[in-house]
Amino acid sequence: MTTHGADGAGGADPLLTVLELLARQAPSARFDALLDGARRDGLGPEELARLERAVVLAGQVHAERAHDARREAGLEALADTARDLTLSYDLDGLLHVITRRARRLLGLDLAYVTLRGPHGSCYVHTTEGTRPGRAEGPRLAPGLRVAEGYGLGGAVQLHGVPVWTPDYLADERFAPSGSLDAGVHAPAFDEAAEAALRAEGLHAIVAAPLRSGDTVIGTLFGADRRVRHHTSEEIGLLAALADLAALAVEKAGLLDRTRAEVSELERDSARVRTRLTRMRHVSEAHGRIMNLVLAGGDLRSVAKAAADALDASVLIRDPGGRSLALVGEVPGLDEEAAEEAVEKASLDAHARRRPVLAADDTWVAPVIAGSEDLGGLVVHAAGGLTGEDERLLELAAQSVAFLLLMRRSTAVAEGPVRDELLDDLIADPPHAPQQIAQRAGRLGVDLRRPHVLVLARPEGGEQGRAVVWASSYAYRLSGLKTVQGGCILLLLPGDDASAAARAVAAELSPLLGHPVSVASAGPGWSPDAVGRMHREAWRCLDAMSALGGTGSAASVRDLGFLGLLLSDDNDVDGFVESAIGPVLDYDAERFTDLTHTLEAYFASGGSPTNAAEALHVHPNTVSRRLERIGDLLGPEWQKPGQVLEVQLALRLQRTREALARGRVTPEPPRPPERGA
C-alpha cells in the first residue's frame, strides 16, 4: 500500500504515521488532515477503515491524556490549596484562594462561598468573577443575606451532598413551586437572592457543601453564564475544594478562638501586672505613711503623704466633725446638704468599719481603734478610687488612728511632768523663771512666744474623759495642761484668747455630751505672765457664772468694761481702742469731730436735735454723723450694753487727755557753771 501522509512522507504506512503523530502529541487537526489525504490518494476501503479506526483510537488516547492532564492539574491545585492552609492566611484570604482556583480549574465564570449565620440563614462571604456593581438592585456580593432553604444552597444544607443544574433559570426544581425529591422538599424563595442571580445572568450552577463533621457550615458555588453540563470529575473537584474551604473555615475559627484566648490571657496578664503594680504602690505608700508616723510626724504630714499617694484632697476630722488637718480642698463641705451626706457616710463607715462613698468622688474612711471612734478621713479624688486605692485609704486611716493613739499615750506619759510644770507656772510665789523656761523647752513649749490660758469647767458628768482629752489636746497644740479645783487649765500658744476659748468649747462639749463653761485670758509673752492670766481667767469664769453665762465661752476682753475691772493690768488703752477706736482713728485721719458729736449726743439724752443745738449745727448734720458712727462701731452700738462701754470709753479718753494736758514736763538740769 502506497500513500502520501499528511506530513508529505510518500509511501509511508498510514498506521505508522498515526503512531508518530500520537507520539508527538499532535493536535486533532493533524489526524483529520491525515484522513483527508488518504481519501484523496484513493486508499482502499479496507485500509481506509483501518486508518479511521486508528485515528479514532488515537483521539481517545489524546482525550485520555488531556483528561489525565486536567486531573493532574486539579490534584496539583488541591495540593497547592492544602499547602496554603498551612500558611498564615486569614479566612478571607483562604476563601479567595479557593474561589479563584475553582474558577480557573473548572473554567467557571463565577465562584462564591456562602456561610451559615447564627440563626440559620446564610450570607455571601466571598465572590470571584462577579460583574461590576450596578446602581440599583441587589448584588451577588459579600454580605448578601440568603434565606434558609433557598435554591441549590438550601438543597445542599438539607442533604449534605453536591447539587448541580445545567440551567438554573430554566430548572423547574428550583422554582418556588418546584420540588427536588418528588414533593418531599419545596425550596424556599428569596427575592433578593433570586434577583442577584438573574442580574449576574447565571445558568449552569454547581454547589458543594462545606462540612464540619456532620454539620454543613456553608456552600461553595461554581457558576457559568451559559448552559453547561458538568462532569462528575468537575463536581468531585469542586467538592474537594469545598472540603478544603471547610478546613479553612475551621482553621480560621480555631485561630480566632486561639487569638481570643491569647488576647484574654494577655489582658489577664496585664491586669495582674497592673494589680501587682498597684499593690506595690499601696505597700510603698503605706510604708511612707507609717515611717512618718514612727518618725514623729504630725497629722498634716500624714495627710499630705496620703493625698500624694491617692492623688486626692484629704481632710482628717475628729469625732465631733472638726478639722484636724487638711491638704487640698474638699468641695461642698461648707454646704449643708454636702455636710449631711458626709456625716451619714461617716456613720455608715464606722458601722461597716471600711471606707464608704459619700458623694461623687468623695469618700469617708473611719479612724477607729478597737471600738473607739477617733474621727474620720474625708477624701475627694476627682478620678475616683480603685479597689487598691480603697485599701490604701483604709491603711491611711489606720495610720492616723495609730498616730492619735501614740499622741495620747505620749500625752498620758508626759502628763504628770506637764501638769507639774503648769502648776509651777501658776504657783504663788512663782518659781525661778529661768529654770521653768528650761523645763518648758525640754517639753517643746516656748514661753517666749504669745500664749493664752484657758480654764474649762465641765458642767456635769465625770471628769476623767475630759482630762484624757485635755492631755491629748495640749500635746497636739504644744501646750500644757493641769487640773485645779474641778477645772481643766490649758496653756496654749496663740494671741487670741477668745478664739482659744471657743475652740476648746467646740471640741470638749460634744465629746462629753453636756455643757462646758470656758473662760480665757491673755495673751502673755513670758513665764511671769502665766500667773496673771490664771487669776484673770478665774475671775472671768466667776463673772460668767454670776451673769448666768454657764455653758458659754468667753475671754476677759469679751466681757467689755467688766473685763477691764477683772484684769490685773487694767488695760485702759485696749478697752478704749476696742470700744471707740474706729471713731478716734476716723477723726485723726480726716480731721472730723465725731467724738465730740458722740459726747454731745449722750449729754443731750440721746436727742439729735438737742445735740445739734449744743454743737451749733443743723440736726441733719448730727444725723449724718451718727450714721457714720454706726458704720464705724457696728449696727448695735446704741444697744444698752455697748452704749455703756462707749460712754465709759469716752470718759476714760477725756480723762486721759485732761491728764496729758496737765502733766508737767520737768526741765532737764542745767550743767554746773564753770568754777562753781
3-state secondary structure of 261: helix
pLDDT of residue 464: 77
Is the sign of the CA dihedral 537, 540, 544, 546 positive or negative? positive
C-alpha count within 13 angstroms, C-beta hemisphere, residue 55: 20
- Please give the sequence-ordered ranges of beta strands (E in DSSP) within 40-119, or none if there are none: 110-116
Alpha carbon distance 150, 182 (integer Å): 17
Kindly tell me the number of DSSP H helices and DSSP E strands found in the chain.
Answer: 20, 16
Confidence at residue 444, expressed as pLDDT on a 0 to 100 scale: 66
Q: Identify the pLDDT of residue 222.
A: 93
The pLDDT score that the predictor gives to residue 162 is: 92
pLDDT of residue 81: 64
The per-residue pLDDT for 227 is: 92
Q: Is 299 exposed, middle or buried (CB count within 10 Å of its CB: 0-12, 13-18, 19+)?
A: buried
Write down how long the chain is: 676
The CB density around residue 265, as the number of other CB atoms within 10 Å, is 10
Closest residue by Cα to residue 543 from 567, 521, 566: 566
pTM: 0.40
Q: Which three cell numbers stand for residue 487?
A: 477645772
Segments in the chain below pLDDT 70: 1-12, 66-75, 77-89, 120, 133-137, 176-189, 320, 332-340, 371, 407-419, 428-435, 437, 440-444, 461-462, 546-547, 559-575, 640-641, 644, 652, 655-676
Residues with Cβ within 8 Å of residue 1, at least 6 apart in sequence: 13, 14, 43, 44, 47
pLDDT score, position 86: 61
**pLDDT score for 220:** 92
Q: How many CB atoms lie within 10 A of CB 372?
A: 11
Residue 666's pLDDT is what?
A: 46
Q: Which distant-in-sequence residues (6+ apart) come within 8 Å of 416 by Cβ?
A: none
What does the pLDDT look like over 19-54, one tens digit per residue? 777 777 777 777 778 777 778 877 778 888 887 787
Beta-bridge mates of residue 130: none
Backbone phi, psi, residue 580, to 5°: -130, 15
Contact 259, 109 (CB under 8 A): no
* Residue 541 and residue 563 in contact, taking contact as beta carbons nearer than 8 Å: no
C-alpha angle 250-254-257 in degrees, rounded to nearest 5: 140
Q: How far is CA 565 from the centre of its chain?
A: 62
d(CA 146, CA 115): 10
Residue tagged 470709753 (cell numbers) = 649
